[in-house]
Amino acid sequence: LASWAAVAMTPIGNANWYIEDTRVEQERVLAERARRKAEDSARRNAEARRCAEEQARQAKLEQEKALAEKAVAEKAAAEAVAAAEETKKAFKGDIKPVITPTLEELEATKKRLGYKTGYFHFAVAGTSGSGKSSLINAFRGLRNGSNDPSVGKTGVTETTSTITRYRDPNEAIPFAWYDIPGAGTLSVPDAEYFNVHGLYIFDCIIVLMDIRFTATDEAILRNCARFQIPSYLVRSKSLQHVENVMRDMLGDDEEEKDDKACMDEAVEKYVTETRASVADNLAKAELPDQRVYMVDIDNIFKIVKRRKPKRAIDEYQLMDDLLSTARYRRIKPKRSPQSLLFSSAASALARSCGVP
């Protein structure tokens, strides 16, 4: 050991140690360079993959965007073609385009028709000779043959050529009734009926109908939905229709059936057939389902006069729904004195008519 230690301490030993240290350091440096090079290569490869994936994703997004834009363009083109066809038909007179009144037109119509703030404005519309004037008279507690100067004119043919406004005989009741000229005449095309007569200003529209819808009935209901105006389908002269049904049911055995039982059966048959017909007509017209009220003018008059009606069907319900609409459509969240007066008047009218 002493000899080996002595050799290590010589200049030759020192040189060997130096050479060995240098070799180890060089190997370490080379290994570090190789590691860094491998890491750089791996990083570059990862970045290249990320860029490739991002490019693929962007390319896919661009493709999807292009397809979506193409679909939108094709749909717009198809709609434009359809609109052009509809416009062409409109100019040919087949249909009339939907027209929304301007604010100026709205105010002018209100002024022309005597629209009064604080009142509830009922419009009664329907085909010529459907009994609009008679219904308005009954709602106001008047007979058609009354000597009252405010009674509405009635007749077999259309007696109203202009819109007529009627106040309720009881001045405490803020209701105004409007008799709209009958539709279906040559002077008033069905598609123009709603806007020509300014029906968009009314708070409620009663549509008098027969067993089948007319184009005018459909146009009124469609526009009521568009303007968010409550509408009521009413079939009048119901007692007459029921008696016709009962007569058909009796046939030659007229004296062999109980009158009351026969009347009950006829009413049920009439109501069922009317509701089914209305539902079918609404479906064909692609309109939402709604109730049809079967009433008789004489019954409504008697109810208003607090007399017992002959055979009520939907008279009480119609009057209740009309009054409820009047009561709640006009009352604001902040109960103003005017709204309270209106509510009280509607409630008083309901009580006077015997409506709950």
Q: What is the pLDDT of residues 205-252, one digit of tens each?
A: 999 987 677 888 888 898 898 888 999 999 988 888 888 888 888 766
Q: What are the structure tokens assigned to 94, written together?
A: 């087949």
Closest CA relative to residue 285, chosen from 230, 233, 229: 233
Q: Is the pLDDT of residue 161 over 80?
A: no
- The verdict on pTM exceeding 0.75 is no
**Residue 84, both tokens:** 């052009």
The Cβ of residue 271 has, within 10 Å, a number of other Cβ atoms equal to 17
Confidence (pLDDT) at 338: 43
pLDDT score, position 13: 60
pLDDT 10s digits, 308-355: 988 899 999 999 999 888 877 665 444 444 444 444 444 555 555 555
pLDDT tens figures, 69-105: 888 888 888 887 776 666 555 544 445 556 778 899 9
Asked if 137 and 152 touch (Cβ cutoff 8 Å), the reply is yes
User: Side chain identity at 242, as an amino acid letter?
Assistant: V
For position 335, what pLDDT does the model report?
46
Conformation bin of residue 337: beta by default, left when phi > 0, alpha when psi is -120 to 50: alpha
pLDDT in tens, 252-295: 665 556 678 888 889 999 999 999 999 998 999 889 999 999 99
Whether the Cβ atoms of residue 331 and residue 346 lie closer than 8 Å to each other: no
- CB atoms near residue 215 (< 10 Å): 14
Angle between helices 337-352 and 315-330 (to 10 degrees): 170
Q: How many CA atoms lie within 13 A of 241 on its CB side?
A: 19
Cβ pair 315, 303 in contact under 8 A: yes
Instruction: Tell whether the model's pLDDT for residue 54 goes beyond 70.
Output: yes
pLDDT at 108 over 60: yes
Tokens of 226: 């568009």
Q: What band does 41 get if pLDDT is binned at 50, 70 and 90?
A: confident
User: What mean pLDDT value characterizes the chain?
Assistant: 79
Q: Summarize the confidence of residues 163-169 as an average pLDDT.
A: 89
Range list of H helices, the chain: 2-8, 11-92, 103-112, 132-139, 193-196, 215-227, 238-250, 259-284, 297-304, 315-330, 337-352
pLDDT for residue 334: 45
User: In the chain, pLDDT over 90 holds for what percent of residues?
Assistant: 26
